A and B are shown apart, each in its own frame.
Chain A
């Protein structure tokens, strides 16, 4: 079975709508132009190291991805579709009947920037480093591959993954944008070499890096796709405050900020630069979650947690807050409108807090609070991260909504480092907190691990254990029939959000990227880690 996973109908239509609505120039119609220097903004100070296998921040991917290739990647022509993958170094791939053995056929004409040929041993060495890291090597992506038994390279251009069980989580995991293919010979000599150096197979060769300032790359004339890349060179500029970012774009010093801008900034740029600016928008694979600490009274009572969720008018917030914040789509635990997730109607009818009748919800919330013995005017300290978008904005909204069911809420905001310290302390350091779940490739099966028991996953901060969920997730991982899978996921979400109200989803993020209209060939995806290799990007003449 050739498994080039194609999208469901919804995905194609969504992709088309987004493309057509926000790219009035008609990206497909124009002919790419060769040449040009591409300056862009990376919204960070600098990166810790250059090794994407061990770092998790986008500050590594955005400036350095153009130097590397992945095995498979999200389709750059259709990046908003979370099920559409194409080969990068892989020409094609297939699986056996129960999806436990995956065979990837590699391209034969790929060269590293030093001229040597890329073969399957490089792919094997890279994946071994990630999945089976040797002593002293940190791999931040190991947790995505619990299903892999072994990686083999039977011949020079074939790589085989043997899995312990077939699962729908595997292919999206392989497309994770951090899994750059390194050179096996270098890894054999020094596993830490890639932390400070670059040697890849990407469309651009490394030119320069000034710490805290910028990264520069030039065109790779021997890139394995003839006729690519279009650009001559690029420069990734580190700017981590919004005011200079906007100034840079307005003044033409940079053409795009690959992370996102808030809605008001988009409006300002459009007003200022007119049709020199194109805006692309997409739901973002990030969500803000209200996390009640199950070990702190009265949040050990599911009625109280439900009440907190019922008070939030998500549909209204989606309309109003999206004007000032980078939050918009309403969804459950799974990426909004994903074929495996709940539809809007299913959410409205089945999950507490998603009903369109907010008055009834709030009445129910008050009733539950009374039943649970929570008095009127009960004081809550809401813990939040000191980042404006969208944490503080959503925090202010949450407080406002809870005031409407008679709670007295104080906003306890901490800078990022202290915020994490408090969450991870696990000594009931907080009562209710904001938390987030951000992923790269949309991979619902792995993305929902956030809600499993806290002795199984390390990033669940609500301090609860729910064996029913854990078992359910085990089944979900192994189910390869899409219809049965969807039913299991429905059960999972209902338990997390409704029956137990373990954690409350507020809003998913909305990625807004306004950029100079000169910049062509880049389509927005649900995550700022994806589609950064600049292979298809070109610049129109001024």
Chain B
């Protein structure tokens, strides 16, 4: 077991290094640069000389390989550097937004799980009946509706019927839980509905699979109540792939909620991403991508470990 874990951790490293190289190269392929964006964007006239001086200050005039080495060396010391746009440390910039994104991700996942597991089970139990169809239509509608459109509709509904808008500024939950929740519950719902769709279908199909297994038939033949059968046997085994799916989706919630954050004006990672890419803020984008990749790989690792622990067959691949 330990060897498995260590192997997986070691495999993470080349992945992360690959991500680092990819994002580094990608950023430098983008046209335009941050100095122009910042100093010349609103039509003011700044001399070429001034722009060059600023580029030198940011280290953009050094050869590419040197910039890369400096950056990687910084990573090894856990120093992500400073944002080229604001000059603040990247850990500070990301830290503020991470709070918001994390909370939305957690809340979305909770909502998704609350919706998906019971619905998926019922749909599997009543396969091909109208209940099954209704649940499947409900969940696919969640997949099909653009979540930002859903978000806009939610906000609109509140405005039209209650002349109420959610708070536009984030307050941490320990400072003011009411303000915090009344801001974040709506994006969590809009996103959670979407993610519950994926989880519902996965739950349904794995429960269906398990229900066909021999030992379930045996349990039924023994005369146990259907409910007990499900809860004890089916659920435990069906949870494995569901956990995988939920784990993967959770990782995407951090940093992937770009449009939803725009609609609800959440000061989250997705918004930071879009702005950073738009500003050509190399260091910030690199730091962000690495962080997101790290979260993704760790989540993958945790899920795979859970999987291997619960199902010994997988370990020996």
Contacts and interface: CB of A to CB of B under 8 A. Distances in A.
B164 interface: yes
Nearest to B265: A244
Interface in B243-295: 262-265, 267, 271-272, 275, 278-280
A49 interface: yes
Contact of A247 (B96, B165, B170): B165
Nearest to B57: A136
B46 interface: yes
Contact of B267 (A210, A247, A420, A436): A210
Contacts of B97: 212
B158 interface: yes
A235 B169 contact: yes
A379 to B, nearest CB: 24
Contacts of A195: 87
A214 B265 CA distance: 12
A250 B159 contact: yes
B201 to A, nearest CB: 30
A449 B45 CA distance: 10
Nearest to B41: A420
Given A214-B169, A417-B30, A417-B32, A48 B40 contact: no
Contact of A253 (B38, B86, B168, B275): B168
Contacts, number: 142
A243 interface: yes
B32 A252 contact: no
Contacts of A458: 40, 45-48
Nearest to A458: B45
Contact of B39 (A138, A213, A250, A421): A138
A241 B36 CA distance: 23
B155 interface: yes
Given A243-B152, A250-B159, A421 B31 contact: yes
A424 interface: yes
A418 interface: yes
Contacts of B81: none
Contact of B86 (A46, A143, A239, A415): A46
Contact of A136 (B36, B53, B87, B152): B53
A210 B96 contact: yes
Contacts of B164: 251
Contacts of B92: 211
Given A138-B54, A253-B167, A459 B37 contact: no
B96 to A, nearest CB: 6
Contacts of A55: 38
Interface in A24-63: 45-49, 54-58
B17 to A, nearest CB: 28
A70 interface: no
A418 B272 contact: no
Interface string B58-79: 0000000000000000000000
A247 B43 contact: no
Contacts of B152: 243
A354 B262 CA distance: 41
Contacts of B31: 417-418, 421-422
B163 interface: yes
Contact of B41 (A47, A57, A138, A422): A57
The 5 closest A-B pairs by CB, nearest first: A251-B165, A421-B32, A244-B265, A417-B32, A56-B44
Given A212-B96, A247-B159, A416-B37, 5 more contacts: A55-B38, A56-B43, A244-B262, A250-B165, A416-B278
28 contacts: A56-B43, A136-B57, A140-B39, A140-B44, A212-B97, A212-B275, A213-B96, A213-B267, A241-B265, A247-B155, A247-B156, A247-B166, A248-B265, A250-B159, A250-B165, A251-B158, A251-B159, A251-B164, A251-B166, A272-B159, A416-B41, A416-B278, A418-B32, A422-B31, A439-B43, A458-B40, A458-B48, A459-B40
